[in-house]
């Protein structure tokens, strides 16, 4: 089983507005609501792939009745700690004409020490029954970067940990020696205060980072440029499917879910990277991710080219 941890979930309201214009009256073409947060998104895709998964984290009590309808909608298995507040709403405005996405994200709730203690127990319990535990997304108010590292460290002593975060919590989370990290290229450049000029440059720098913190793999997403899987003895680059992009919402989370699902099934990094690139591409091509359930992922993924990145 894969357990995902989401500290700062949201109700994602995705609306399609052709030719969206700030400061003007805009007409919504269609709207979709779902439970979101990066870890929850990973669990949703794993569920679509029929991989056992449980999403744990904090959730707001004041609108929990509505959240439960969204949980049922996605057939998710969850175990949340209730917070006396509403779960925030994040609004994503998709403009298919300008091919843009505008995010309007609320801050979310604040947790107290008692709730952090409850989360510590929850993480410990699920880590013991999980093949992998995924810490993904931002933290809510009330959890510091140092406390985040402590929670990741707790899990990493029991099971393999996957970290998908940015900023200070990524910097601190690295110190807990996760099994895999999944930054995008911009998060990685910000972390290392470096602009990568070539794939070879990126591989050399990331390998130093992995060695410094005892990390096995880095899965780096680079948008239209594809993705890289980097380890001590491996550096693979995958392309993408030839798709018409609709929205990047949830693409990185979908990519991560595809990688983890295939890696646990095959233990083959190349196959896992192909699956990751395939599912990430499908996510970009579909707002609701229904495409994942309609195609043969195994067959389609073999069409994605994977090459070795050779270091001088």
The catalytic residue positions are 253
3-state secondary structure 52-115: CEEEEEEEECCCHHHHHHHHHHCCCCEEEEEECCCCCEEEEEEECCCCEEEEEECCCCECCHHH
Q: What is the DSSP letter of 233?
A: S
Torsion 127-129-130-136 (CA) sign: negative
Residue 139 contacts residue 170 (beta carbons within 8 Å): no
Nearest to 37 by CA among 79, 7, 78, 77: 7
Nearest to 133 by CA among 183, 196, 86, 178: 178
Residue 232 contacts residue 271 (beta carbons within 8 Å): no
Nearest-angstrom CA–CA distance, 106 and 137: 14
Encode burial over 41-75: b for 16+ CB neighbours within 10 A, e otherwise. bbbbbbbbbebebbbbbbbbbeeeeebeebbeebe
**Where is 235: in which H helix or E strand?**
strand 235-238
């Amino acid at each position: 089983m894969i357990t995902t941890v989401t500290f700062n979930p949201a109700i994602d309201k995705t609306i399609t507005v052709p030719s969206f214009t700030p400061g003007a009256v805009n007409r919504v073409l269609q709207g979709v609501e779902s439970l979101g947060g990066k870890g929850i998104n990973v669990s949703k895709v794993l569920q679509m792939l029929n991989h056992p998964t449980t999403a744990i984290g904090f959730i707001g009590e004041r609108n929990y009745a509505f959240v439960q309808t969204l949980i049922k909608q996605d057939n998710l298995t969850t175990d949340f700690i209730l917070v006396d507040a509403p779960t925030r709403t994040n609004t994503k405005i998709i403009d298919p004409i300008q091919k843009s996405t505008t995010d309007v994200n609320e801050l979310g709730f604040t947790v107290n020490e008692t709730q952090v203690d409850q989360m510590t127990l929850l993480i410990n319990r699920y880590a013991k029954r999980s093949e992998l535990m995924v810490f993904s997304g931002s933290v809510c108010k009330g959890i510091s970067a140092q406390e985040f590292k402590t929670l990741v460290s707790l899990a990493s002593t029991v099971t393999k940990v996957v970290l998908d975060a940015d900023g200070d919590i990524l910097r601190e989370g690295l110190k807990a020696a996760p099994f895999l990290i999944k930054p995008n290229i911009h998060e990685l450049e910000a972390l290392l205060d470096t602009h990568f000029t070539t794939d070879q440059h990126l591989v050399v720098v990331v390998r130093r980072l992995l060695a410094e913190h005892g990390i096995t793999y880095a899965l780096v997403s680079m948008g239209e440029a594809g993705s890289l899987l980097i380890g001590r003895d491996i550096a693979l680059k995958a392309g993408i499917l030839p798709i018409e992009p609709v929205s990047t919402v949830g693409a990185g989370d979908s990519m991560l879910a595809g990688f983890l699902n295939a890696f646990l099934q095959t233990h083959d990094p190349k196959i896992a990277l192909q699956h990751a690139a395939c599912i990430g591409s499908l996510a970009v091509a579909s707002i609701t991710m229904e495409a994942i359930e309609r195609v043969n992922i195994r067959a389609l993924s073999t069409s994605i080219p994977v090459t070795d990145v050779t270091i001088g």
